[in-house]
Amino acid sequence: MTTVHEPTTGTAARLSVWPASTTEPPHGDLAVGGVPLAEVADRFGTPVYVLDEAEVRDRCRTYRDAFPGAEVLYAAKAFLCRAMAHWVDEEGLGLDVCSAGELELAVTTGFPPERIVLHGNAKSPRDLDTALRLGVGRVVIDSSVEIARLAAAVGPDGHQKVMVRVVPGISAGGHEKIRTGTDDQKFGLSITDGHAAHAIARILGQPQLELTGLHCHLGSQITTVKPYLVAVRRLVGLMARLHEQHGLVLPELDLGGGHGIAYRPGEEALDLTALARRVRAELADACATAGLPVPRLIIEPGRAVAGPAGIAVYRVLSVKRTGHTVFVAVDGGMSDNPRPALYGVRYAPRLIGRRSTAAPARATVVGRHCEAGDVLAADADLPADVRPGDLLAVPVAGAYHLSMACGYNLVGCPPVVAVRDGLARLLVRRESLEDIRRRDVGL
């Protein structure tokens, strides 16, 4: 292994991207929510995802406190299960869903449908029918064809609140594959070319559709406030033109989410307090200049709520040197976390379950799948004596891991375990071979 020098930082710095409840006992076994992670691995097997309930709830409250009077919607695409929907509901947040599946799970859990917003750039008839049947609060129109489709589904005597997703022409986000505020991607209707204004005029001609506001989402992993301020100016500018042309005053403005978080110690994250303060000031100033009342603000955090609350725990299967690289292979990989392969996300896994006195060394943590790109961490600092049977824990694993998981190599999805106050309980069981066989119905 190539030896590296561990930064001269304390425990607080090393655990800066871990849940607030994380403790580091002298024997080396990290505990989250009062539960040792090695104990979770022994009880539920590996790979296993651990979700700190208190961290989720605290992050919901942080958003609620930072944006008083605003509507905060948890973006379910980051991670959704029945318990997550229940926690979000109890903490007073709404929900942003992207499919009939997410919507059905939330409503059948008891989540109030009127506090749910349906998104999606290509909503299926089933998505729309389910939204109308369950009484979803708002549907976000993403293309012109959805206007007629939704109006027909609602019927002449029906009523549905809608928003329009507009593209403000802003490039922001941590990777080109997660930038959605520019005119060259699949989401929304452009302000620049007039498609947004044309779609709004068509909606106003459908009496069964009530337009409540504009929506935009700039991208993901945004760590600076400025793109949101530019978006506010451009959306208020469109609202002013709509008022001039149609006498329309929209009561809502949705700035989406995309709030960046740190995946490794020392990385930059979005300052939520600064975001809230400056967005409110910018919105008030822009509306005053345009002579418009200030609309109610809506935001949609997903990753920033779920991501730092989750930990993935793997067991080491093999350690081998190839040339100058040491590969540490674990019992999971791109089937339960495709994000490194998709857009190069970097993590900071660490050894748990035993205290090592070996010097730290550089290693590449890889998965078990038959792809050269199945790499979980290309530059991990691990003890030089890491060996098969060891446990590795990956923090900031609560968002876009299991929600994007696949069935590659038929290894099955890992379970999700909640921890709180020294107790661990199963939320989502491990996908079994029997589960996989049941879906394969033909010979």
- CATH numbers and ranges of domains, the chain: 2-52+308-439 (2.40.37.10), 67-301 (3.20.20.10)
Tokens of 346: 């970097």
Tokens standing for residue 200: 């709004």
For the chain, give the percent of residues with pLDDT over 90: 82
Q: Catalytic residue at 370?
A: yes
Q: Alpha helix (H) ranges present in 67-191?
A: 82-90, 100-109, 125-134, 144-154
DSSP assignment of 282-311 equals HHHHHHHHHT-PPPEEEE--SHHHHGGGEE
- The tokens of 113 are what? 């449908």
Helices 100-109 and 125-134 pack at an angle, to 10 degrees, of 20
Asked if 403 and 51 touch (Cβ cutoff 8 Å), the reply is no
State how far the alpha carbon of 262 is from the alpha carbons of 239, 291, 308, 392, 397, in Å: 34, 39, 8, 19, 11
The pLDDT of 412-433, averaged and rounded, is 97
Mean pLDDT computed over 32-48:
97
% of the chain exceeding 70 in pLDDT: 93
Query: pTM here?
Result: 0.93
Question: What's the pLDDT tens digit per position in 134-191?
Answer: 999 999 999 889 999 999 999 999 999 999 999 987 754 544 444 444 456 556 798 8
Return the amino acid letter for 277: R
Residue type at position 379: D
Task: Identify whether 47 is preceded by a cis peptide bond (ω within 30 of 0).
Answer: yes
**Active-site residue (options: 60, 287, 370, 413):** 370
Q: How confident is the model at residue 8 (pLDDT cuts 50, 70, 90)?
A: very low
- Report residue 276: phi and psi, to 5°: -60, -45
